[in-house]
Structure 1
Amino acid sequence: MKTEREVSIDSDPTWLIVFLAVVAAYIVLNQLVDAAVTSETAVTQHAVETVWFLGLAAIGLGFLYLDDADAADIGLSRPFVAPGFGAFIAVWVGLNVVGVGLALASGNPWGADLLTSVSVGALAATMSYAFIEELVFRGYLQGKVRSVLGGNSWLSRAGAVVTAGVLFALAHVPRILVEGGYVSGVSVVGTLVVLTLSGAGFGIVYELTENLYFVGLLHGLGNSWPLLVDGFAWDGPAQTGFLVSIAILYLGVTVAYRRLTADTRVTPYVRIEKGNESAS
């Protein structure tokens, strides 16, 4: 039985070019709107941000429709929900267990107060925004580029991962130039490098699992880090150990997911004909 998804997004590059132009214009428009509401209340600014992300989601879904793709094609149909959330919970629990162990061994603080330092509302917004970005940049853009480059070959996959990662970083350029960078203590160029690498990392996870729920949740986790520890604030070997544990857990759970779900209903779907899919 097949264990690879056959890309069913149209390989014609026309809609890809239109998509890039639309997203670029939308990002510029967002900066103009942000500039207009800088003196408004925080509630107004958050409302504008929410509307912007909803618009971005509409763009992604719209182009998926135009390219004759559907939820199963990008790992977003109902059967993917439980395994996606399950894999994410495994990562989250693992990070907390390892993080607390490192904190105890190194004398760094840990506790529920760090976990609750992020409000429920802010966490929900952060996770939602991250999921929308993954829908657009991995669900549509990466899948579309992969299709344009030829489909299922590893070269096509690698090209799609790198392309989506670079464009994901470039999409943040206007805001980075205005705000001076996202990553504390890192230059604009450094921030772009971090964003490119993180985008490529999410792309690799997506290619291996083909589950957009899992990737979206990981992205949201990386934006807020609601954990019992703050390993990024540590110094020396403890911080290094925490960073290494993140990489190991992400990779380990991703590989385990791929092995456990191979030849099942959830990884992946293979398009047989329009409107008719079969589990691989």
Structure 2
Amino acid sequence: MLRPDTGLPSFSGGPLIPVATYFLVITVLAGLVTISPGASPPPILGMMWGVGLVALTAGALSIESVSPRSLFPPVRTFGPAIGVVAAFWGLYNLVALALALGGVSGFEASLSRTAAHPLLYLAALFSSLLFTAIPEEFLFRAYLQQKFTRLVGGTTVRAVLSGIGLAAALFALFHLPRWFLASGHGVSSALAGRLIGLTLMGLAYGSVYALTGNLWLVALFHASMNYPPLLVTVTVPSELHLVVSVLENTVMVSLVYLTLRLSGHDSTPFTASQRGMSASTGE
């Protein structure tokens, strides 16, 4: 079962709680980036940040009278989630191999670092899943997206789209502290491209979550996009990054939608469905 049988949580707090939570997260992140201004933080700091992000989100949910545990789907949904993500990357690798064999620039018919060092890759992927993808998706999709959806209306398509869009915009802005403080890029055309790419990614993750309500699925997509399991060497020219991002995210959402239809699930947005159920509140 890819889609857990739960509904939109009944948050008890007002709009100030998610706003305060987000600004607190940004403030803490900016402080950590100032302490460790490198391109990537030391592993121990990254792990501390992941745990801290979960703790901050859990604190906000407690104020909202929602059990954090209720937003994590059953373990039985993890296997189907792996299957969908594996199908996505299987298709991705087939296309990449075909382009490489066809001599398309940017695609080489040679083993990637992932294929050459699979154990190191799996370790990096697991670390990204545990300390980056799950904490960030717990905050942006399981909490903020659903909270905004509830504030706008809860059971309407407009509310669902608003929740997806607001969470995606905040997800993009969330990455600015490292862009400015650590990478030193400043304000440039590259910043606009970066923000657009991150927003598209947030919209895709939000759509996947709205369709399935499966935190494992969206976190697996997030982690694997951070560390793509490509078997051949792929170097996308910078001028094509946005085009490739649109294609990747469109295929991702389409595959999830098609999977739901083929498996007999209702393909209407998860958080907009009228099921007469809410995620359990309290402990």
1:123 aligns with 2:151: no
Q: Describe the superposition over 1:39-91 as per-residue Cα deviations: whole angstroms up to 9, x where unpaired.
A: 9xx9x822112101111012223333443445786462223212211111111
Q: Answer with 106-115 or 213-222: which moved more.
A: 106-115
> Which residue is equivalent to 1:221?
224
Could you tell me how far apart the structure 1 residues matched to 2:216 and 2:203 are?
Answer: 17
> Which residue is equivalent to 1:101?
98
Q: Describe the superposition over 1:234-275 as per-residue Cα deviations: whole angstroms up to 9, x where unpaired.
A: 6999x99966763453133211232215169xx799564775
Could you tell me how far apart the structure 1 residues matched to 2:5 and 2:161 are?
Answer: 15
> Which residue is equivalent to 1:7?
8
> Which residue is equivalent to 1:254?
256
How much has 1:195 moved relative to structure 2?
1.2
Could you tell me how far apart the structure 2 residues matched to 1:200 and 1:46 are?
Answer: 28
Q: 5 Å matches for 1:133-148?
A: 133-148=136-151
Contact between 1:8 and 1:271, CA under 8 Å: does it hold in 2? Answer: no
Could you tell me how far apart the structure 2 residues matched to 1:235 and 1:177 are?
Answer: 20
> Which residue is equivalent to 1:92?
89
How much has 1:222 moved relative to structure 2?
1.5
> Which residue is equivalent to 1:198?
201
Contact between 2:260 and 2:266, CA under 8 Å: does it hold in 1? Answer: no
1:62 aligns with 2:94: no
How many pairs were matched up? 264
Q: State the one-letter code of the partner of 1:92.
A: W
Could you tell me how far apart the structure 2 residues matched to 1:166 and 1:235 are?
Answer: 22
> Which residue is equivalent to 2:153?
150
SS at match of 1:109: strand
Q: State the one-letter code of the partner of 2:214.
A: N
Distance 1:60 1:114, change over 3 A: same
Contact between 1:74 and 1:139, CA under 8 Å: does it hold in 2? Answer: yes
> Which residue is equivalent to 1:23?
22
Could you tell me how far apart the structure 2 residues matched to 1:99 and 1:274 are?
Answer: 41
Could you tell me how far apart the structure 1 residues matched to 2:156 and 2:6 are?
Answer: 11
Could you tell me how far apart the structure 1 residues matched to 2:243 and 2:100 are?
Answer: 10
Could you tell me how far apart the structure 1 residues matched to 2:217 and 2:82 are?
Answer: 6
In structure 1, stretches of 5+ residues that fail to align are none
1:51 aligns with 2:48: yes
In structure 2, stretches of 5+ residues that fail to align are none
SS at match of 1:110: strand
Percent of matched pairs sharing the same residue: 24
Distance 1:241 1:35, change over 3 A: closer
TM-score (ref. length: structure 2): 0.77
Q: Answer with 150-159 or 249-258: which moved more.
A: 249-258
TM-score (ref. length: structure 1): 0.78
Q: Describe the superposition over 1:206-231 as per-residue Cα deviations: whole angstroms up to 9, x where unpaired.
A: 11122111111111122121211344
> Which residue is equivalent to 2:32?
33
Distance 1:83 1:67, change over 3 A: farther
Contact between 2:114 and 2:229, CA under 8 Å: does it hold in 1? Answer: yes
